[in-house]
Structure 1
């Protein structure tokens, strides 16, 4: 941590990050307990999340958006194809270019995960107002961090 980082410490943000990481570990452990869920690495999850939200994206677009080097992305794509989670389809305008699309298996896997996440978190006792506020805050933080990353990388 640099000296300038010390000047910008707000314990609330650090506490929020700590809670988010703890929740992520709990949610991940719960999902891994389901034998019907396809096990993905953190890199594969990152790629699938983008491709699911942007079906038909090119590999270079996915690499730029996820911050992955092309070699790391290529490995993740090979592994996701082997797991039946992603297909490469020819670009209609330029058959030499590939477009990435999630498979039906990926859609079923995501639906199963979302149901598991909903079940797990709904049992924790948050009310609808808390849930709405938390979702809005975390979405704003995710969007803000994505914008910062885009500015830093020029993408």
Structure 2
């Protein structure tokens, strides 16, 4: 049998989910505007983030991780190499393979982008929220972490 007391709670959760999804999307767009990614495609950005997080990788392992065909990954890697964002060295375990990693210039560019986004958000919080409101946002962030953490 259906529990009537859960209906308002379920409706509220659904409304909050809709609002949060829209808000997070808007926040992501605003943050993206603060650090220009230039002409990089979403696939290229994803590969750069994966290399930053996981370290060196072969093009074939990147293709598997990204759910791409090896031929598609080859064009992504070629574009990143020509932009000076990734470089490769022979894999010591298998000389036929190339281990790709971020260049120093790419690491600096990624850090500058993060700094720009962090500075923008920090300035917006200071300019638009009182200390009490920042405390509320802090508590909301804590609660949202509970929602997304396993």
Separation of aligned partners in 1, 2:110 and 2:31:
14
Gaps of 5+ in 2: 1-12
Q: How many residues align?
A: 131
Structure 1 pair 135–45 and aligned structure 2 pair: CA distance change class (3 A): farther
Structure 1 pair 110–11 and aligned structure 2 pair: CA distance change class (3 A): same
Residue correspondence of structure 1 range 4-153 to structure 2 within 5 A = 10-32=14-36, 39-125=39-125, 127=134, 130-131=137-138, 134=141, 137=144, 141=148
User: Does 72-81 or 53-62 show the bigger shift?
Assistant: 53-62
Gaps of 5+ in 1: 1-8, 145-155
Normalising by the residue count of structure 1, what TM-score does the alignment of the two structures yield? Answer: 0.71
CA drift at 1:19: 1.2
Two-structure CA RMSD over aligned residues (Å)? 2.8
Contact 2:51 2:57 in 1 (8 A): yes
Contact 1:63 1:70 in 2 (8 A): yes
Separation of aligned partners in 2, 1:139 and 1:77:
37
1:17-69 Cα distance to aligned partner (Å, 9 max, x none): 2111111211122222xxxx654221111110001111212222222222223
Separation of aligned partners in 1, 2:53 and 2:103:
13
Separation of aligned partners in 2, 1:100 and 1:140:
35
Normalising by the residue count of structure 2, what TM-score does the alignment of the two structures yield? Answer: 0.73
Structure 1 pair 92–135 and aligned structure 2 pair: CA distance change class (3 A): farther
1:54-103 Cα distance to aligned partner (Å, 9 max, x none): 12122222222222232322111111001100012111111111111000
Contact 2:32 2:117 in 1 (8 A): no
Larger radius of gyration: 2
